[in-house]
Structure 1
Amino acid sequence: MATVFLVLMLTLATLGALDWLLVLEPRLRSEAQTTARALAHAEARSLQPLIGSRSHQPKIQMIRDAVSEMLILTDANTERPFFSAISIEFAPPWVSASFAMGDDSCTDCFANEIPLFDPNSGDLMAILRIKSSPVFYQAMRDDMRASFLIWTAGLLALMSLGWWALSLFQTHSDESDVRAAAIFNTSPIPLLLISRPHGTIIDTNGAATHLFDAVPLSYSRISDLLDRHSFEQLLLVEPGTRLAFETELHLTGRDLPVKATATALTLDGRELLVVGLIDITEEKAFEKRLAAEKEKADAASRAKSTFLATMSHEIRTPLNGILGFTQVLANGDLSRDQREHLELIDLSARNLLGVIEEVLDFSRIEAGKFSVRESSVDLPLLLDDTVRLFRAKAESKGLELVYREATELPATINTDGLRLRQLLGILVDNAIKFTPRGGLEVEVEIRESEQEPLLIFKVIDTGIGIAESELPKLFEPFYQVDQTSRRPFGGTGLGLVIARNIAESLGGTIAVTSEEGHGSCFTVSLPLLISDQPATLPSPLSKRRVSASTTNNRALVVDDDPINGKLLVYLLQARNVIAERVESGSMALRQIEHATYDMVFLDLHMPGLTGWDVLEELQKRQLNGKRNYPPLIATTADVQKDSRERLLADGMDDFLAKPVEAGALDEIIERWSPVT
């Protein structure tokens, strides 16, 4: 039996060591490397304004000073530097300005290579190489390793003690009594021998004496040390069983957190408990530090999401003016050159809008808020709409867009139609972007597999292709193949990351095959979930047709931004709506009280009274709970996925996103014009 027990202990020790080497320590190092990479990227952004451009000499001395300050940054706890070495290698024509600082001999450091670009042209100006010290990793590793070793040793010791104690009380031999007493007294684990049912402490060992700083009085009660719940748990332990739990010992002047293990046995007709105690003060302190670090990380993530939402609003607001007045100018008499310039302005603004949407989607992925909503979807209609959407773009580049589908495609499937359309749109748009000549094909088929049938989407192009060595990195965030031939195509490097996340969220996979100079093939495999329900269509709008007599419709535009307010007034007047604008929520309340309007376009983000404040005040002014104010259409640049639902739930009647689309504005006017 002793041999079996020894083998069991060795097995547990081996499993514990393997768990540390293969799971815990690599995970700690990976987390530390991620933290070091984030810190390196944050410091790189501080150097960006100093790198100059192709036409201006980099500010070398200022860069050196900034690098010197980075090298002296240290961890507050260990006083070790965050970075060991930093070098900058400038691209032509400033190669001679390259330099390196710090100690490059660190073998355990995390190396990060960060490209710095010309802010004007987007050309590569320099490569910043930062060696980050593993200071984050080592402190956490040492703490966790010590805790792990103590736990392992304690567990093995408790198992050993329990076996020997049980053997002692079962055999009733003098030799076993002596051995058990020796184990009890010399065990490194604090032990208490307790008589039931009253919980009287019969004996303690030397380790318990050291733990308590004084030997408990003989025949004192365990209930004096434990809370009522823990004491009741001990009394319920049956002979031959073991109970493990965490509690606190109420000592003189302090509460000591411990992990307790209780084993019940019967000796000479007496019911006894052997209780082992392990001081977990350090473990609790470590858990608190981890919780604090997690809270800091969560706060940073929330701050980043808030920042991105704010920046999205701040960028989309002026974009609304740019796109809106570009459309207004395009309706006038323009020369050919002027119209071409306006089209370029409109294209650039919409490209910027696409970049903002990609960054927001990536932010949702990082925050774990990227979700899918399954419903019954008309698959042929979705595919046809997606291909038609991109056919004009392909033809404008002289490319042929071919669509092929299997004849056995089901009419309806269960999936998230919006996300599937977004996924296919990213792949088709990429194919058009990176195909200078030739064309692309979109193929859809059903493939049988061992588990379930799969729905296969392929996007094949004749574009510039991707080198085989670059394929494993293709789905990494912000990664773009570093080839001169690809730089003119631009992009954030987030599209394929979002595409992969959508595919995995829908239960599928995405793969790519490519040959440099001979095009690429992206393949999406999704489980085929055929639906027997009719396809879910958008809820039909309340059809309030605008008749010829609706020229007296009146609208109030509430917007503190003069450009966006003027634009919306102009667009409404162009649609035979009498519109006027006020600049604040307080002015809006006065106008609504003294004039009659068919609809109010209410900006949500205004100084003073916000759009929500105006809504709340109008709701308070209702007569006997009866609404006495016109329909409120929220106008905002916040276009996150749940924005519309949240606004409608708060009491808004409709939602108009910025930049304002002509079709969306037409629908709102039609929806809220009085029925005639």
Structure 2
Amino acid sequence: MARAVRAVLVVVVLLSLGLLILLGLRIGESLSELRSEANDNLHWNLSQLEVDLVRLGEEMRVNAIQKDGSLKELRKRYDLFYSRAQNAVGGKGYSAPGLRELPQTFAALLGAYLARETPLIDGPDATLRENLPAMVDRLGTLRDSLRKVSIEMVDALAEVGDEKREALSGLIRQMTLATGATIFLLAALLAVVAWLNKVAAREQRLSDQVSRRLAATIDSALDAIIVSDDEGRIIQYSPSAERTFGYSRAEALGRDLATLIIPASLREAHAAGMARMRQTGKFKMVNNGRIQLSALHRSGREFPVELAISSAEGDQGRIMIAFLRDISDRLAAETELTSTRDKALAAGRAKTEFIAVMSHEMRTPLNGVIASLELASGMATDPELRRFIGLAQDSAQLLLRHANDVLDVTRLESGGLQLTTEDFDIEAHLSGLVETFRPICDEKRISLRYAMTGERPMLQGDPFRLGQIVRNFLSNAIKFTNIGGVTVEAEVSEQRGSSRVIEIRVTDTGPGIPYADQSRIFEDFVMLDPSFGRTGEGAGLGLSICRRLAVAMGGEIGVESTPGEGSCFWLRIPFALGRKSPTAPVTEDRAPMAAMDVLVVEDNATNRAVLGELLRRLGQQVTFAFDGEKGAAAAAAHRYDVILMDVSMPVMDGLTATRLIRKSGASKNSRIVAVTAHSMPEDLERIRASGMDDILTKPISSGNLIRVLSGTALLMAKPADGLLDDDRIAELRLALGADGLERLAVKFLGDGGDLIARLSREETLASEALSALCHEAAGLASVLGAAKLRSLCAKAEDLCRSGRAEEARHMLRHDLEPLWKETALTVKSLLQA
């Protein structure tokens, strides 16, 4: 503050002195102009010109009266007038500023007169005498005109002189004021200097206090503080530094920092950095935050330190201030903590992976059980048998639900759950979903009502996950309601730009939920009645999954309940507006064919179930073998008309099994048809070389299956440009019916999601395991006619089998997940249609 005030005053004083000098120079210039003013000279010339005009006029009048007198004196007077006129016109005062056009008028009058009279004066005497009367008149006229112009010129010059004198007076007044102001400022500057001296003395005392406090702070600091010059010599060394490095202050001062505390391995880099700093002024570690390095103790022990270096300007140039802290104990604690954390994370991952694997492994046989029970239910005719099959189906579905719940929780916790985006009709979606629960309500003799009020827009989002939440609400409501009924209400509760917030309420007349438990029911594994006699079934994961799904979709869920009166579970989720393009079903006629004994060698349960169903509906006798070894043994023991042989299988692949069958056995000469997702030229060559007669390329259609069974030449499945092969969907709809196609599509989504999740962790899989997984995914895609997905997985399998597993991993990382999302979206649209 004091320095700023002093600087301002100095600048103001200097400006005042500069102003005084400038005013002095201007006053000098004005005085010089006044001294050299030509106004008097002009006045004198005009006066003399007037005198000469009078004398010339008198001489002309005299000569006009005396007719015989001499004209010599007249010509002399005219010459003097002529000379005076030239001096007046060309004089300095004649061109003085402020005269405006007067000099030109004056010169014009004189010029015109001299031009007229000079020839007469210089002419013969007789001519001159003859014109003298007229010349006298013209001279009088000129005299009057010149007198008038002269008076105007004198007046103008007087005005100019007055202005100049007034300007000089103003400069003198300004000079006086500036001088006074400068004197005042000088006095003020003296006062400020005195005040600044007092301020400086006070600041010096404060500086001394701060220095003593800083010294006390440095001495008591826990971190070591070392100050060095730009040569690396130590000029300050704190007591903490003595304790940290083992050197006393007396030993450290003046020593080279590099040889004292820097390990030998870092000294070269330190020297290079110091040299660069001195040469270029650029820092690398200075003013760059905290840095972790190794330091050297006096005993020769190296230990880790955390340091921060800053620079400042000292009395002898730049200095470096280093704050160092021994972090040996902290690093040891961090290492232990990191190890503990890694163990905990590993345990958590192991738990998550174990749950996911076990859930998937449970789902795989369960899918087979459910598919088998579906087929058995259609073939059973005995009512008692159908009742037991129904009980088995209910138990299998319940177990599958538990497995799905655990798998959903695992996906949500790991962030592996992917939401799809598709257009759907909210009214049709919810009404259809509610109708699926009506038979259960009818069986329990409770009512089920559904109503949607207000706007019924087409929305865009994930209807499958929305339906999962509503199904859970409905399932719980129906489960705990024995009297009364369940009501489902839906409405657009809010509009957010182009989005709509859908609110869905599921209200029941069940026992209700105590207020203290209403927040707990959305937690994992929470069951309000965990006793053996509870009426509800489940693992306590349903509402927890619903909460996670709602949050993932940007919404919220909750419950309002009164014990003894019932509960209302509500859901609010925002959806973007969308449009839906319905897909029309495709139908096709099919001709019957002759029955044959067919052996299906296939390791994938889904493929076996679908292929077996297609063959049975074609009137064929079907026998299954689960791998190549069992298939070769079955073919050797019994003669089959046709053997449908998968190529890639565990235990023994299809090519090896074909070679064994061709060597000997009952089916040595039977037709063997390869069932494969591989269609590369090299694959076809290997298949032919193994002894197979034909190739049935996945996806398998009824038409292609008929042509292969009838002995037609080598066939390839028609390539499909879309995500789903329309011909394949039409074949499956004809072969399995609408319900069967729906079950197959749902199974495809479930199994496919598991396979894609496993493939997304492909970095942890060996090349052979990755190849097997790709083969399984390609086979699954072929079942439903997912051509692009099958092609991608088959290509990845080919790359793995040819020793290019890294290329396969790269392709799967970039292309698999988005392709699966598109395919799953298309399959869900197929389900809705």
TM-score by length of 2: 0.49
Question: Are residue 475 (structure 1) and residue 511 (structure 2) matched?
Answer: no
**Counterpart-to-counterpart distance in 2, 1:544 and 1:589:** 38
Report what 2:491 is aligned to: 445
**Counterpart-to-counterpart distance in 2, 1:631 and 1:184:** 82
What does the per-residue CA deviation read over 1:515-539, in whole Å, with 9 as the maximum and x for residues that have no partner? 22222100111124324xx34879x
**Counterpart-to-counterpart distance in 1, 2:613 and 2:447:** 37
Given that 2:294 and 2:302 are in contact with CA atoms closer than 8 Å, whether structure 1 keeps it comes out as yes
Query: Quick check: which one's strand share is greater?
Result: 1
Report what 2:475 is aligned to: 429
Report what 1:130 is aligned to: none
Report what 1:244 is aligned to: 289
Given that 2:752 and 2:780 are in contact with CA atoms closer than 8 Å, whether structure 1 keeps it comes out as no
The one-letter amino acid paired with 1:425 is R
**Counterpart-to-counterpart distance in 2, 1:295 and 1:365:** 21
Given that 2:647 and 2:676 are in contact with CA atoms closer than 8 Å, whether structure 1 keeps it comes out as no
Report what 2:407 is aligned to: 360
**Counterpart-to-counterpart distance in 1, 2:339 and 2:253:** 40
Report what 1:143 is aligned to: none
Report what 1:187 is aligned to: 221
Counterpart among 590, 594, 599 of residue 547 in structure 1: 590
Given that 2:699 and 2:784 are in contact with CA atoms closer than 8 Å, whether structure 1 keeps it comes out as no
**Counterpart-to-counterpart distance in 2, 1:466 and 1:620:** 65
Structure 1 residues 321 and 465 mapped into 2: Cα distance closer, same or farther (>3 Å)?
A: same
SS at match of 2:391: helix
Matches within 5 A, 1:146-545: 177=211, 179-196=213-230, 198-214=231-247, 218-222=254-258, 224=262, 228=269, 243-251=288-296, 255-332=302-379, 334-411=381-458, 413-448=459-494, 454-482=501-529, 487-531=534-578, 534-535=579-580
The one-letter amino acid paired with 2:471 is G
Matches within 5 A, 1:38-187: 177=211, 179-187=213-221
The one-letter amino acid paired with 2:557 is I
SS at match of 1:529: strand
Residue range with higher mean Cα deviation, 274-283 or 367-376: 367-376
**Counterpart-to-counterpart distance in 2, 1:418 and 1:229:** 63
Structure 1 residues 573 and 449 mapped into 2: Cα distance closer, same or farther (>3 Å)?
A: closer
Given that 1:309 and 1:638 are in contact with CA atoms closer than 8 Å, whether structure 2 keeps it comes out as no
Question: Are residue 581 (structure 1) and residue 624 (structure 2) matched?
Answer: yes
Given that 1:402 and 1:442 are in contact with CA atoms closer than 8 Å, whether structure 2 keeps it comes out as yes
**Counterpart-to-counterpart distance in 2, 1:370 and 1:437:** 38
The one-letter amino acid paired with 1:363 is T
Given that 1:633 and 1:652 are in contact with CA atoms closer than 8 Å, whether structure 2 keeps it comes out as no
Residue range with higher mean Cα deviation, 568-577 or 376-385: 568-577
SS at match of 2:341: helix
Given that 2:647 and 2:653 are in contact with CA atoms closer than 8 Å, whether structure 1 keeps it comes out as no
Task: Give the C-alpha shift of residue 668 in structure 1.
Answer: 9.4
Given that 2:408 and 2:545 are in contact with CA atoms closer than 8 Å, whether structure 1 keeps it comes out as yes
Structure 1 residues 180 and 466 mapped into 2: Cα distance closer, same or farther (>3 Å)?
A: closer
The one-letter amino acid paired with 1:195 is D
Matches within 5 A, 1:607-622: 607=651, 621-622=682-683
Structure 1 residues 441 and 207 mapped into 2: Cα distance closer, same or farther (>3 Å)?
A: same
SS at match of 1:377: strand
Given that 1:555 and 1:601 are in contact with CA atoms closer than 8 Å, whether structure 2 keeps it comes out as no
Given that 1:237 and 1:243 are in contact with CA atoms closer than 8 Å, whether structure 2 keeps it comes out as no
The one-letter amino acid paired with 2:290 is F
Given that 2:311 and 2:320 are in contact with CA atoms closer than 8 Å, whether structure 1 keeps it comes out as yes
Task: Give the C-alpha shift of residue 244 in structure 1.
Answer: 2.2
What does the per-residue CA deviation read over 1:42-94, in whole Å, with 9 as the maximum and x for residues that have no partner? xxxxxxxxxxxxxxxxxxxxxxxxxxxxxxxxxxxxxxxxxxxxxxxxxxxxx
What does the per-residue CA deviation read over 1:440-459, in whole Å, with 9 as the maximum and x for residues that have no partner? 11111122389986321111
- Give the aligned length: 486
Report what 1:140 is aligned to: none
Structure 1 residues 610 and 623 mapped into 2: Cα distance closer, same or farther (>3 Å)?
A: closer
**Counterpart-to-counterpart distance in 2, 1:202 and 1:589:** 90
Matches within 5 A, 1:580-599: 580-585=623-628
Report what 1:631 is aligned to: 697
**Counterpart-to-counterpart distance in 2, 1:610 and 1:305:** 35
Given that 1:405 and 1:445 are in contact with CA atoms closer than 8 Å, whether structure 2 keeps it comes out as yes
**Counterpart-to-counterpart distance in 2, 1:434 and 1:342:** 26
SS at match of 2:489: strand
**Counterpart-to-counterpart distance in 2, 1:305 and 1:551:** 52
**Counterpart-to-counterpart distance in 2, 1:493 and 1:355:** 10
Task: Flag structure 1 segments of 5+ consecutive residues without an equivalent.
Answer: 1-168, 658-663
Task: Give the C-alpha shift of residue 345 in structure 1.
Answer: 1.5
**Counterpart-to-counterpart distance in 2, 1:249 and 1:491:** 58
Structure 1 residues 549 and 483 mapped into 2: Cα distance closer, same or farther (>3 Å)?
A: closer
Task: Give the C-alpha shift of residue 188 in structure 1.
Answer: 2.4
Structure 1 residues 250 and 556 mapped into 2: Cα distance closer, same or farther (>3 Å)?
A: farther
**Counterpart-to-counterpart distance in 2, 1:203 and 1:589:** 89
Structure 1 residues 237 and 263 mapped into 2: Cα distance closer, same or farther (>3 Å)?
A: farther
Given that 1:513 and 1:520 are in contact with CA atoms closer than 8 Å, whether structure 2 keeps it comes out as yes
The one-letter amino acid paired with 2:616 is A
Matches within 5 A, 1:18-33: none
Given that 1:247 and 1:258 are in contact with CA atoms closer than 8 Å, whether structure 2 keeps it comes out as yes
**Counterpart-to-counterpart distance in 2, 1:626 and 1:565:** 20
TM-score by length of 1: 0.59
Task: Give the C-alpha shift of residue 249 in structure 1.
Answer: 2.1
The one-letter amino acid paired with 2:305 is V
Given that 2:368 and 2:606 are in contact with CA atoms closer than 8 Å, whether structure 1 keeps it comes out as yes
Structure 1 residues 182 and 464 mapped into 2: Cα distance closer, same or farther (>3 Å)?
A: closer
Structure 1 residues 437 and 555 mapped into 2: Cα distance closer, same or farther (>3 Å)?
A: farther
Task: Give the C-alpha shift of residue 479 in structure 1.
Answer: 0.8
Report what 1:149 is aligned to: none
Give the superposed CA RMSD.
Answer: 5.1
What does the per-residue CA deviation read over 1:287-309, in whole Å, with 9 as the maximum and x for residues that have no partner? 32332223222322332233224
Task: Give the C-alpha shift of residue 316 in structure 1.
Answer: 3.5
**Counterpart-to-counterpart distance in 2, 1:442 and 1:231:** 77
SS at match of 2:324: strand
Residue range with higher mean Cα deviation, 278-287 or 639-648: 639-648
Task: Give the C-alpha shift of residue 507 in structure 1.
Answer: 0.8
SS at match of 2:331: helix
The one-letter amino acid paired with 1:346 is Q
Given that 1:191 and 1:275 are in contact with CA atoms closer than 8 Å, whether structure 2 keeps it comes out as yes
Counterpart among 769, 774, 788 of residue 650 in structure 1: 774
